Amino acid sequence: MSDQALPQGVLPNTISLVFGHPDASTLPADDLRAAAEAVLRSHPARAGLAYGAEQGTPALIDYLVHKLNREEGLGLAHENLMITAGSTGAIDMIARLYVGRDGVVLTEAPTYHDALHVLRDHGADLCGIPIDGDGLIVKALETQLATLRREGKSPRLLYTIPNFSNPAGVTLAAERREAILKLAREYGFLIPRPGF
């Protein structure tokens, strides 16, 4: 990483992994510039310089629905998918719709730091569930759910990153996925999927 591309506070001759910021010298700036110029020259009205459809570009949504249904065996329809400008924006929308002030949200511990910030901003009551090398520990989740039930609380959702979790990098084992889905049905909480 060149010294002028270093984030504030990072010493020269270090490789910064802070918040997943890529080395600026690896970004394809020339290719992106050429692509943008080509689109602006040939299709200026469709270049995306104004607000687009709230749900996202319809053609891209159609493509993604078809791809996810084909590759993951899902039964998604066009209205089941929304494109956001990143997972943090998606988490914000999910929190606005489903959490509410003092709503209980289960999260992996550790988990994506910005998700915690957003959920706290919405007044969520966060309950961390530990992970190990195979992802979220189902027994710990069961214990937390039983405790919440005794306290008269119902979790609104489980925030989990099942594939290559951030920051741990682990992937949730298949048998744990099935057990977590069973618990979600039993206890009535959602498992949103911001990003895939």
Note the pLDDT of residue 179: 97
The pTM of this model reads 0.75
* Residue-level pLDDT at 87: 86
For 91, half-sphere exposure in the C-beta direction (CA atoms, 13 angstrom radius) is 22
Q: Both 144 and 169 in a single domain?
A: yes
Same domain membership, residue 107 and residue 67: no
* 94 and 176 co-located in one domain: yes
Q: In total, how many domains does the chain have?
A: 3
- For residue 17, the enclosing domain spans 1-50
- Which of 83, 102, 136 marks a domain boundary? 83
> Tens-digit pLDDT profile for the chain (196 aa)?
444 555 556 667 766 666 666 777 888 999 999 999 999 999 888 777 888 888 888 999 999 999 999 998 989 999 999 998 888 889 999 999 999 888 999 999 999 999 999 999 999 999 999 999 999 999 999 999 999 999 999 999 999 999 998 888 999 999 999 999 999 999 999 998 755 4
CB 43 within 8 A of CB 63: no
Residue at 195 is within a domain: no
Interatomic CA distance for residues 58 and 55, integer angstroms: 8
Question: Do 75 and 167 have their domain in common?
Answer: no
